[in-house]
Amino acid sequence: MDIERLIAELTVEEKAALVSGTDFMFTNPVPRLGVPSLRTSDGPHGLRVQREGGDNGVSESEPATAFPTAAATASGWDPENTRRMGEAIAAECRYYGVHVLLGPGVNIKRDPTCGRNFEYFSEDPLLASEMAIGEIEGIQSRGVGVSVKHFALNNSENFRFMGNSVASERTMREIYLKVFERIVKKAKPATLMCAYNQINGTFCSENKRLLTDLLRGEWGFDGLVMSDWGAVRDRVAGIKAGLDLEMPGDTAVCRRRILDAVGDGTLDTADLDRVVRNVLTLVDNYAAPSDGTPVDFDAHHALAAEIAADCAVLMKNDGVLPLDTADKLHICGEMFGRMRYQGAGSSMINPARLTTPEQAFDARGVKNHSIEECDKILVFAGLTDEYESEGCDRENMKLPEAHLNLIDGMIGTGKPVIIVLFGGSPVELPFNDGVSAILNMYLPGQNGGEAAARLLFGEVNPSGKLAETWPMRYEDVPSHETFGKSVNEVYSEGCNVGYRYYKKHNVPVRYPFGHGLSYTTFERSEWVNDGNAYSATVKNTGGRYGAEVVQLYIEGELAGFKKVRLAPGESATVTITPEEKDETVYSDEYTVPEEPPKYPITLESRFIDLRQTFMGRILFKAVIGVSEKQRKKALKLTDGPEKENRLKGAAFLRRVLESNSLRSMSMTAGSSMPYNYACGFVELSNGHLIRGAKAFLTKIKVPKLPKEENVK
């Protein structure tokens, strides 16, 4: 593709279309000049490819492998896991004709109640970036691009569409931007996705310092920057700032503003050509057609179990595990037959296969005994989709009350109780001292049931380590009083995130960052520093084959790690060369702005705030009715995975609608809710009926898209 020739031949109208998406998941083609369309798909731990004619709902997509989520894979502390997973995901991308996968998500886990933490790797930027690099390299090695997200400081859900992340330069540089910096420099991702939120008062989608000065100028990024779906506020300002591609597109107002700005000279043609060049380069690099190679979904199912087993964390064990085939077991808990294997939201996958713990136990001929007859009790518990989902933050760190009551009842029998946990983030464990073992599966993907059975029966030795701190209680978390409570999300704890905070302030935790037990034992020698690298020898001193994660900390911070796999009696020497520390002194200062008023309603108001006025309540109820209609339709289905997925989709849609802004909603919905409708909603909600009617009737006029030019 001769990109410079194309830029010279493209009309302004075609350029305005090229820098915008279409049909929700595609880029715009220019048939006249032979420029094809790229297809994107939600990830990041598998594909959510909409069927042709689908409504882009989260519950209706092609079958794909649901691999363990980032919360699980990070606990494996082995980038080879994410690399192999990435290669498999890329194979499915090519099979379905997907060119760019929307992931991985690499935001730092600032607070354990963030509703999207299951999609993120860690509270530590080194661990998070290394795990992400493995996945990126795996995907891109197969000719599929990635979109690393969400750039940047998108660490909560409640106000993510309009929230203002207020943080000092030092906090951003040393924690929240560091993960992106390492990924950009080491993995060279095809694209980055800018976040919805503001950073110190400037929206990410029009933040020149973020998207150009830092990303391209300092870090040397030469790929494409796309928006999160509906994250654009001012398209012309975005182009000037370095936002190349607006997604999902089909927003007449954005194309109109580009055309008008070029026409009146407020947008330099060179600036428009710059972002067009980045779009064409992405198309040129990744527009290969589907290669038609069949996908071995059975092999991917097996890989999902292998990775899940390698990443699960044995948090507690008094010797009750592994189980013996002769053990008489009483098995209970919601997650035994209805395992939660993935998160709720845009990354929800239609699994090609699904193996629950119950199915894995049945395959082994394991019997379920009464409490009176059993030797040991297994309780399968955890966070349900109602408690943890993209679109909202959790209200607390508690398990569902029914799960807690069941666990307490089992402890009351006096028999040894083993807890198998499923969920995307830490929970309080008030029962910790009363149980004999806790095996944390996180969200292990579609074959998590098989992985759990292998671990419980000792077919595989647990080797996962926590990639985040598990506090005693939510009140011990530094951000617990303010997190997700208002538009201004103030990072007042600075760099003291996760284990850094608990160590600095000597706050006891339930299980520390890096913790994880094994069925064997290991010994490690003292570190030897040769002035550049650190070396230590680790030996398997137990009776089982197993893996250990060697972790190097310097001045209290993780400086390197390596997972080694050893037979009984076997030793290995691990050498880690820490990166040179950036000695730049950054400012700790930040300014907290006043909270914006909730009234009058504006384009940046949360949709749920429309309920303040009579007309607003009518509009709110009408829009929310869309999700309620989906929920009622799902309830009529026969019990099974399809019904559950559709119910999850309806619940997610409601959460997103409630927390969305009118502006972002219009930027996401395209022709079904154009920008003038959003303006009309604002006017009507504020009681301006005539202005509202005028806005609804004032259609934004734009030329046909290039793909429509020759359509009769």
Question: What CA–CA distance (Å, rounded) separates 479 from 486?
Answer: 13
Alpha helices in 498-592 (DSSP H): 499-504
Which contiguous run of DSSP H or E holds residue 290? none
Question: What CA–CA distance (Å, rounded) separates 103 from 136?
Answer: 9
Nearest to 410 by CA among 336, 332, 495: 332
For β-strands 100-102 and 164-166, DSSP reports them as unpaired
* 393 is annotated as an active-site residue: no
Torsion of CA 319, 325, 330, 335, to 10 degrees: 90
DSSP annotation of 707 reads G
Residue labelled with tokens 């806790």 = 438
| Helix, strand, coil percent content, the chain, rounded in steps of 5 | 40, 15, 45
Question: What CA–CA distance (Å, rounded) separates 201 from 239?
Answer: 18
Active-site residue, from 42, 111, 228, 476:
228
Amino acid at residue number 513? F
Q: Is 330 left (phi over 0), alpha (psi -120 to 50) or beta?
A: beta
**DSSP conformation letters of 190-220:** SEEEE-SSEETTEEGGG-HIIIIIIIIIIT-
| Cβ(245)–Cβ(27) below 8 Å | yes
| Cβ(389)–Cβ(343) below 8 Å | yes
Nearest to 235 by CA among 658, 597, 660, 666: 666
Question: What CA–CA distance (Å, rounded) separates 333 from 347?
Answer: 26
- Max distance between CA atoms of the chain, in angstroms, equals 83
Tokens of 513: 């960052």
Residue labelled with tokens 């284990």 = 499
CA dist list (Å): 533 to 170, 583, 608: 27, 19, 54
Alpha helices in 470-527 (DSSP H): 499-504
Tokens of 704: 């046909």
Tokens of 222: 């030469």
Task: Count the neighbouring beta carbons within 10 Å of the beta carbon of residue 277.
Answer: 16
Question: What CA–CA distance (Å, rounded) separates 356 from 453?
Answer: 9
Q: Is 220 left (phi over 0), alpha (psi -120 to 50) or beta?
A: left
Question: What CA–CA distance (Å, rounded) separates 663 from 669?
Answer: 10
Q: Which residues contact 188 (CB under 8 A, 6 or more apart)?
A: 140, 222, 223
Q: Which residues contact 392 (CB under 8 A, 6 or more apart)?
A: 115, 157, 158, 655, 658, 659
Count Cβ neighbours within 10 Å for each residue of 629-662 and write b for 16 or more, e otherwise.
ebbeebeeeeeeeeeebbbbbbbbbbbbbbbbbb
Question: What CA–CA distance (Å, rounded) separates 84 from 527?
Answer: 31
Q: What are phi and psi of 216, to 5 degrees?
A: -90, -40
Instruction: Indicate which residues carry an active-site annotation.
Output: 228
